[in-house]
Chains A and B, each alone.
Chain A
């Protein structure tokens, strides 16, 4: 069975409409059935035995550099202590084998490159063994390998470092034998990250740390309303700052701005502060959160484009009002704010260019740089840097940061220019998780289970108008926006889900777990309401309602039950909240213990159970789940919202948009993985959607209120 078909089957098994949507890619993106990736592009064994593994992803913190190295090293029978990982540049050979473009996102790295990296390791091993076998005039079948040493049948011994050069000259074997799970030595073992020490002693370099001879720094003054254009500007005070090299207008993806280039960041920033710019803000929408809220709520009362329509759309009308739950939800714009501010460095030499970007989207980012510089992508050497967090912001479909950097480099020909977005630029610069309003009417049957579900989702689509529109938008429905609802794992007859995608002048993009951030909140809080209404335990109710094929969710809930015995012994003033969700094949169930302290929700502990198939690195999965739960708290902390007034973003920096600090996070997040040998699915995004609904479900038990507007701004 080829790999794509496997994913279709597992997608269907999970009831995941979206998963198969993701894999419904056009011919150019289809995995070429028997592609043989050349080991020499992915692994290099040095004479001293060091093994350098090339990672076809951006390391954002999610641990893929270590995990992919583990996979390759295990099949290669390499000594783990000799392994180092490097990030690949942009090149066709490093494209995601399933998506068909180079990408870090969708929690797809391990799922899509598991077999690829295994085969690379196995091929390398086979070539090393064959080289040794040749030297000893024995059969490769009589040799074995372990920890970077080949052993011959008569006690011969050769280290990988000695064999590597000759091995590299061999023909790549067409077929390879992969290990069985019981033969794994590294895969499946909790393994510490390769990049830890460097990240603790200041030596790890991120894109923003890049230093090149003659490099200049650029910052850009952007319009206060998205799409604004420079009408006129006075730069004479700016140019008077010592160290300024140039000040000039550049086109932006939305409108235009003024680039300030200097030999130092502080100089550039000071100069930018002294610019006097006359903006043309005419003819563009001045988005306003309260106006949008009202507009969206009005839209939510009307049916939109159909995403799901099963059973009888009129069934709900026959349910008496006292047996219906009618609920309206509102979710704000959310900023990503990765800790490393956005940046990109480009040098343009006329017939070539070089770029350094912590990019989640290299194929497109490189093409964007080339486009701006009137080059072909192959004329751009595009290096991928370690990034200080991404969460989707470094994957924006229009490559806006790379485009700006290229536009500046074009003017400063021959000189590398590092574009830095200040934190203010980032908080105010758009590309947010969009604002959403939901309106749901659920009809309850005599047995306490839902008999009908009518759901309207209102929110802008960042996929419409992007290169991915034809894959992800069907019949006007952006499936990104209904992830978690359209593929709801619960057996509800008569489901009608429609969407409205208003056009709003606020750039939006994917935010860690995309549509699930709001859809799973709605579903999991509503399921909790239904469970309460039926006087049922929230876990038992879910188990009853889950579709038969939702096996991973069942397993996750069962494991949660087993590992959260504490939930039956809560101290006074503490309550429990349950939520579950499946995202890109990974099932997650969580229990959160919450109390109200100083009028705010305080989360004391969280237990998470998950099913991700084979757990390649359980230590890393635990960190992703702890981190993802905490990231998900962005949705409920009091200052976790971006709002606009008259076109202007009201927040400036972390003083106005405050993501979770240590005091907002539970002290304990214990993570439990369902043991499995199934093909692995991801860990980056799956934890994010479950914590907000779990916390809010607990708050209901404490306050009697169902919180349906996020974040939780008011005192509780």
Chain B
């Protein structure tokens, strides 16, 4: 067990955990932030996506010992983020969600995409979200919502 000092959604957080603990479980069980989800544990589904040092990252794979001083941003911060808010509103407007379990990860991935590319093409969307699994099959509306959000950013 070791103490780690993190910066999560702009706040300093200290946790004492086994250094091998993935960031995902630090968020969920030490910080009680359950918006970031466990879907597979091997980075194959994207449900655990957060932003680490500004980069979309699959938190199930990153042991807390490798975080260093990189900022952690989670779904819980998205309603206070200019792009995040636009994406969430597009998601609600287009009635994207079904069970919703994958959507934190989808939204975090989309926010990363839109922050990098304000006018993504169908191909851009498909490639960037290519590894985010939705078992309910909301992909059709996800595409529409991303495009809708992009128009608000223009």
Contacts and interface: CB of A to CB of B under 8 A. Distances in A.
A201 B76 contact: yes
B95 A200 contact: no
B83 interface: no
Interface residues of A, number: 64
Interface string B33-53: 111111111101101000000
B88 A388 contact: no
B136 A631 contact: yes
Given A202-B76, A422-B41, A654-B44, A665 B139 contact: yes
Instruction: Summarize A's interface: helix, strand, loop or mixed.
Output: loop
Interface string A372-386: 000000000000001
A660 B45 contact: no
A526 to B, nearest CB: 27
Contacts of A204: 100
B74 interface: yes
Contact of A200 (B33, B45, B92): B92
Which of A192, A193, A337, A340 is most buried by chain B, counting CB atoms within 10 A of its CB? A340
Which of B93, B99, B130, B136 is most buried by chain A, counting CB atoms within 10 A of its CB? B99
Contact of B140 (A59, A264, A391, A626): A626
A423 B137 contact: no
A267 B22 CA distance: 11
Nearest to B93: A192
B62 interface: no
Interface string A238-271: 0000100000000000000000000011110010
Contact of B138 (A197, A265, A266, A623): A623
A202 B75 contact: yes
Interface in B23-38: 25, 28-29, 32-38
Interface residues of B, number: 61
A339 B45 contact: yes
Given A206-B101, A270-B18, A626-B140, A341 B133 contact: no
Given A339-B134, A653-B41, A663-B126, A264 B25 contact: yes
Contacts of B98: 61-63, 389, 623-624, 627
Which of B32, B93, B135 is most buried by chain A, counting CB atoms within 10 A of its CB? B135
A275 B64 CA distance: 24
A59 B136 CA distance: 13
B136 A627 contact: yes
B40 A653 contact: yes
Contacts of A661: 130-133
Interface in B50-91: 74-76, 78-79, 88, 91
Nearest to B63: A266
Interface string A192-235: 11011111111111101101000000000000000000000000
Contacts of B107: 200
A196 B25 contact: no
A388 B75 contact: no
Nearest to B122: A667
Contact of A340 (B20, B99, B131): B99
Nearest to B76: A202
A614 interface: no
Interface string A333-347: 000011111000000
Interface string A383-426: 00011110100000000000000000000000000000011100
10 contacts: A202-B76, A208-B37, A266-B20, A267-B18, A339-B45, A386-B99, A389-B135, A626-B140, A661-B131, A662-B142
Interface of B: 1, 17-18, 20-22, 25, 28-29, 32-42, 44-45, 47, 74-76, 78-79, 88, 91-93, 95-104, 107, 122, 125-126, 129-143
Given A264-B17, A264-B29, A630-B140, 17 more contacts: A59-B99, A62-B98, A195-B100, A196-B97, A202-B33, A205-B34, A337-B135, A339-B101, A341-B39, A389-B101, A389-B135, A630-B137, A631-B137, A659-B133, A660-B137, A662-B142, A667-B122
Closest 3 CB pairs of A and B: A202-B35, A61-B99, A630-B137
